[in-house]
Amino acid sequence: MDSETKLHEIKKPIMVLGTSSGAGKSLTVTAICRILKNLGEEPIPFKGQNMSNNAWVDWEGGEMAYSQALQAFACGITPSAEMNPILLKPQGNSTSEVIHLGKSIGISTAKNYYKDWFIPGWEVIKKSLDSIYRRSPNCRLIIEGAGSPVEMNLIHRDLTNLKVAKYLNANCILVTDIERGGVFAQIIGTLELMKPEEKKLIKGIIINRFRGDLSLFKKGKKWIESKTQIPVIGIIPWLNDTFPPEDSLDLLDRKSRYNNPEIKVGIIKLPSISNFSDFDPLENEESILIEWVRESQNLNKFDFIILPGSKQTIKDQIFLEECGLSQDIKDYSNNKGNIIGICGGLQMLGTSLEDPFLKEGSKNYSEQKIKGIGLLPIRTTFLKKKLTRQINSKSLWPCQSKINGFEIHNGQTELDNTPSALNVNPIFKDVDLGWYKENKKGGTIAGTYIHGIFENDNWRTQYINLIRRSKNLPILDMKATSYKMKRESIINNLANEFDKYLNLSSLLN
């Protein structure tokens, strides 16, 4: 840390470590961020290194993990890539795209990552911390760890757990998930594997996802505190609110909370799916049931289907072709089906995908140019440089409305020079952001490059009403609560529940 930002001058950071992946670190940080904001503090989220294909783009065009963007919303501030200086985006075959301070700087194998990227990674983490403190000297960092902090085969090259904790002399919380079982062993084992100077940083323990009567854990709490000499500062009950998952595998466990849906949506579960937080606004619509589609089937039970974003578009298009889903989607279209593709999904709906620079999965196959599903007369060529930017535009269909969102993609997409292109119309005033066409028998096929399109309340509601009219259902009220207001409500509910059971006072001094 530079001479202008001395450790003894800053508010003590709070760091949330976990006994394992999935212990609840992300939501705990989100809750603490909102709790401290409500107390009048200036919390800022931070995660030195995250691995996720669920990304956000800041106003400088920098990529960051969506979980840190959500935590920034909880703080009431604008997300910035400095809050997640290293983002690793897995792309199969034990390789990941490496992103530093929002910019893609290379591809690395798991085997070579720490040999090639550990030193520059630590430098970019320190640079981000210095920048945050220079800009916000009165802030309190709320830091999220990754996985377990005591993976002994990796601990010497762990960039984002105890190395950050020691560098900042943070007050650390250890979170464990009692739902998984073995909570006592998780806590004791994690602490025993820490060095004495590391264990001293642990100032509190949180028992997460407790079901039943909290009083039944009094003896367990007393035993943990006696054995570790660390207070249990919170026993958090099981919470049911839906949040974006960090790992796309969690999608398989997500269930609709609504019992009487009027509209059924099928989302194609691509092997390399990305930006699945695009669909959170749909999950918060009471009239909608979402089902994830993983294998060939008759899609006619769905009122519309979505092809999501992909980190390896050519690889995923080959998957669709080989498993039969590509033909299923064509059959669905011919049967008055409604289809939306987002980013990679848009590209797959076109006639061709060309990957001359081996950016989108074609290096695993013999062909660098393949056929798309062929439902939109568009062709895509993947370029060397990725486009990342925030979007402010205006939609032309299914309504005229202001649109916000962001782009993350390599591909450049153009209309085919064929007669069928005459039947295609731009969705937005910026014509390169998406197209749609109406099927002869009914239904529409649409595709857009805009991530977060469903967060636009008017656009989402008008599209849903398009589907509802086709089913002779009453249209939705345009004055319904906005998704962003619902997200705020969910964050507030999360913070309020944590605040009931969590004592942070000893960590704030």
| Residues carrying an active site annotation | 343, 451
Answer for the pair 311, 91: CB distance below 8 angstroms, yes or no. yes
pLDDT of 239: 82
In a domain, 382, yes or no: yes
In a domain, 495, yes or no: no
Here the CATH number for the domain that contains residue 448 is 3.40.50.880
Do 151 and 295 fall within a single domain? Answer: no
In a domain, 125, yes or no: yes
Do 150 and 169 fall within a single domain? Answer: yes
Residue 221: is it exposed, middle or buried by C-beta count within 10 angstroms (0-12/13-18/19+)? middle
Do 222 and 270 fall within a single domain? Answer: no
Alpha helix stretches (DSSP H) within 213-267? 218-228
pLDDT of 412: 95
pLDDT of 244: 60
Task: Provide the token pair at 386.
Answer: 């990725």
Do 160 and 296 fall within a single domain? Answer: no
pTM of the complete model? 0.93
> Taking each helix axis from N to C terminus, what angle separates 25-38 and 66-75, rounded to the nearest 10 degrees?
20
Here the CATH number for the domain that contains residue 33 is 3.40.50.300
Do 234 and 252 fall within a single domain? Answer: no
pLDDT of 196: 96
Single-letter code of the amino acid located at 112: N
Helix (H) or strand (E) holding 233: strand 232-237
- Show the domain range for 42: 13-238
In a domain, 3, yes or no: no
Q: What is the mean pLDDT of each run of 10 residues along the chain (509 residues)?
A: 57 97 94 98 98 96 97 98 97 92 95 93 98 97 97 91 97 96 96 97 97 93 98 91 54 59 96 94 90 96 97 94 98 95 98 91 74 96 94 97 97 89 93 94 95 97 95 87 89 95 93
